[in-house]
Structure 1
Amino acid sequence: MTARGFIIAAPRSGSGKTTVTLGVVAALARRGIAVRAVKSGPDYIDPAFHAAATGQPGLNLDSFAMPPALIDALAGEAAAQAEIVVIEASMGLFDGIMGEPGRTGAAADLAGRLGLPVVLVLDISGQSQSAAAVVRGFATHDPEVRIAGVILNKVASERHRAQASEAIGRLGIQILGSLPRDATMSLPERHLGLVQAQEHGGLGEHLARLAGLAQAHVDLEALVALAAPITCNAIDFPALAPPGQRIALARDVAFSFVYEHLIAGWRRAGAEIMPFSPLADEAPDASCDACWLPGGYPELHGGRLAAVSRFLDGVRDFAQTRPVHGECGGFMVLGAAIEDAEGVSHPMLGLLGHATSFARRKLNLGYRRAVTLAASPLGPVGTGLRGHEFHYASVTSSGDDAPLVALSDGQGKEIGPAGARRGHVSGTFFHAIALE
C-alpha cells in the first residue's frame, strides 16, 4: 500500500489544528479509509489522540531532531501502512528555529521535503475579508510550500463565512470547509498541553462528535483529492540504539512520554519491550537487562509514587546490577524527592541525589543537542543526540552526581553539563529523539 498525504497547519497556535485534524482523521476512518495521523515536531500528547481517532499508532516527524534519511524512512513506513497520511503541524506553519535550511523543526520543512500540500486552518474570529491577506502571505512566503486549501474556523454566521470565503476565493485557493464557533469541541488542557488521551473519560464520544463536525462542515472528498503521493521508501534507519535486549519500560499516566518511533525502532532491532506500571505498584521484570523511565506527570502523582513499595524496591534492586535511565519525569523520580504543586515533598527512588519542585515552576522549553559524557542507555561516551526539553519543574537541590551530557540549544549555543549519573543509573530532563 502506498499512501497519499497532506499537512494540516495554521498561522499560529490556538487556531484549531488539533480539533480539525482529529475530526478529519476520525471521519476518514469511519469511511473505512486506512489513515495514519502524524505530528510535526516534539509532542507526546497529540499522537495519542491521533491513535485513538485512527486506530493506528501515533508518529512524530521532526525536521530539526531527525536526520533527513530518518524522516524519509518513517514517512515511507507510514505510507506503506495507510491510504492517507495526515500530518498535523505544531505552532505556525513556518515556526521553527533559525539555522540550517530544511532542519528548522517547522512543518514547512516537511511540506518541502515530502512534496505535500498544506491545508491552512484559519481562525477568522475578529476578521473577515482580511483573512485573505493572511492566506496570500502564507501562499507566497516560500515557493517550496504549496497552500492547497483553507478551512475556516470559528465562523460566526453565514455572512461572516461568505465574506471571508469570497475574498480568499479570489486568490485561486479553494475553501475546503468552515467550522462554526463551538467551545464544546475543545479538549481539556493542563500545564504541558492537552490532558492525555488515556485520561479523557469520554474520548470515544468526543471523537465521534468531531467526526460528525468534519462530515458536516468539511469537504472530505476534496480534501482527499488534493493529497499528493508519498514516494519515500520504508527503509530501516535507526533513531537510537536499544538500551538492552529486553527493556523494562514504565508506562501509565505518570510515565507516558515515549516516542513511538523509538519503541518501534528498538523492536525492529530485535529488542523486546516489557511494559510495567509504577502507579499499579509493578516492578521492572527481573529478566530485563535495562530499565527506561520516560517522562510524564509524576508531579501529579507524588503521593502515590512515594507509597508504591514494590515499584520503588524493584527499581532499586534492578539498579544494583543493570542500567536504569530516566527522561524528564523519569529523571525526577530517580532523584531524592519531588515537591508537588501544593508544596508537599514526596520521597522518590533516591538513586540520584537531586530534588525537584513543581511548586517552584520555571519553564524550560526548546530544542537541544546533547553529547554523552559517559556510557549510558543513550549510547557510548561521545554519542551525539538531538531532542528537546519541555518541563516546568525546577531543581531545588542538585546533589553531587556526575553530569550525564553536555547540552547546547538548537542553534548550538552551549548550555553546559546536565543530567546526572551514578553507578548504573542515569537521567536527564533532555528527551532524546534521534542520533545526531
Structure 2
Amino acid sequence: MLVIVSDLHFRDGTAGEHNVSTRALEGFLQSLAVAAQSARAREVTILFLGDIFDLLRTEMWFDVPEAERPWGLSGAPPEALERHAGRILDAILGHPVNRETFALLGGRLAEQFPLFPGEPQRIYIPGNHDRLCAQFPSLLRKAAQALGAADDAVRHVYRDARYGVVARHGHEWDVFNYEGGRSFADEDYVRVPIGDVITTELVAGLPYTIMRHPKIQQLPPATQQALQRNLQQIENVRPLHATLHWLFYQVQQHEWLRGVVEDAIDEVVAHFNGLPFVRDWYRRHDRWPSPLDEADQIQAVLFVLDKFRVTRMGGLLALAEALKGIRPRPAEDAARKELSGADPDVYYLVCGHTHQPTQVPIQIGQAADGKPMERVYLNTGCWGTRHVEAADGGFVSWKQLAYAVFYAEDENVGPDPVRRGFPSFETWAATLKESLTWPPLGR
C-alpha cells in the first residue's frame, strides 16, 4: 500500500500559527493502519511529496542581510545560507506543536499503530517551500530524520511500477516556483524562483510591515495580537489575486486600518520591486513581444496592490477579477504531456503543490501486458486552514486535509478479496469547520 501526502507546511510560527496538529496526524495514521489491514497489505510506504517544511513563510529571513537571503542577486554565500536555513529548520522542528508531531512521525509507527503489517517505509521529496533541504545535505538529513525517512540522497521524483505511480511535487510546471529546465537535473531544483521572494518579501512581509507601523504600536497589546493573528492569515488566501479582496475585507471590517494598510502596501511593493533579484528576474522573463508573459503577470498584480486605495476599490476589484483568468492550468497540461509519453506500466501521475485535491482522467491506453489502461492525473491537495471568498465578498474559513492511497494488484479495497488486474487508488479529503473566521479586534 502506497500513501501519498503533500503540502503540510510545518512552520516556525513567526509568521503565524498555522501548524497541523498532532491529533490530526494521529487520526490520519490510524486510518492508514486500518486501511492496510483491510487491504491485506504486506507493506506500507508513506511518501511525503514536498512542501512538508516551510522555510519561506517565516519572519526570520528579515533578520538576515539581504545579500545572505536565498535571492541575493549574486547568490548568497553557501555557508551563510546553509546556516540561516538551518536555524529556520531547527525552529520548525523545535516549535512546541511540532515537537510532539515529529516525535510521532519519526518514531516507530508500527508500535503506536499495531494494525500496520510492519514498520511503514517513509520517503521524503522536497518541494519548492522546502527547496533548501534539497540544496544542503545537512538540512535534508534533519528533515528526513524528523519524518522517519531515509536521508541517503535527495530525490525529486518517485516511481513504483507495482502501484503504477510516478510522483513529483508538481512545482516543476509552475513558472513562478521553478526556475530550472526540463532536464529535471539536481541543479535545476536549487535555482531560486521568484515565488520564494513573493512568499517571504510580499506575503510574510506585509503583516510584518503593518505590525511595525507607529499607529499599530500604540494599540493595546491584546488588540495588536489579535490584529497580527488576522493579518498573518493572508498566507492562507489563494490564489494571489484574492489577496486584494482579502485586504479590502479587512479594511471594511476595521476602517481604522485603512491608512496603515495602504502605507504598508506602498512600502512592501516598492521594496520588492527594488530588489536586485526581482529586477533581474523581470529582465530575464519579460519577453517582448510576448503578451502577458510571467513578468507581466506579476507586474499586473503588483500594480493592483500598489494602487490599493479604499476610495477607488470598485475599479481595482474589477481588475483583480480579470486577473483570475491569467494563468493556465499548467499541472494538468503537463500531466497530459508526461503521461502520453510514459512507460506502459505508468497509470497515475501524482503531484501536490496546487493545494487543490483533484483527479483528472487523461488517457485511455494500453498496459505492458496488452490490457486496456486508464491514465489519471491526481493532486494530493494540502493540509491546513483555507479562507474561501463568500458570495457577498467576505471570507469563510475551515480546515482541510487530503491524501491519496494506492493499492497493488494483489491488494484489495473493501471487505472481499478482489484481484483487479491493475493498480487501484482511492483519495480522501476532509473539511472541518469549528470556529468563526475573524475574531473581533477591538480598537
Please give the TM-score of this superposition, normalised by the length of structure 1: 0.24
By relative contact order (CA 8 Å, sep 6+), the higher-ranking structure is 2
Greater strand fraction, Structure 1 or Structure 2: 1
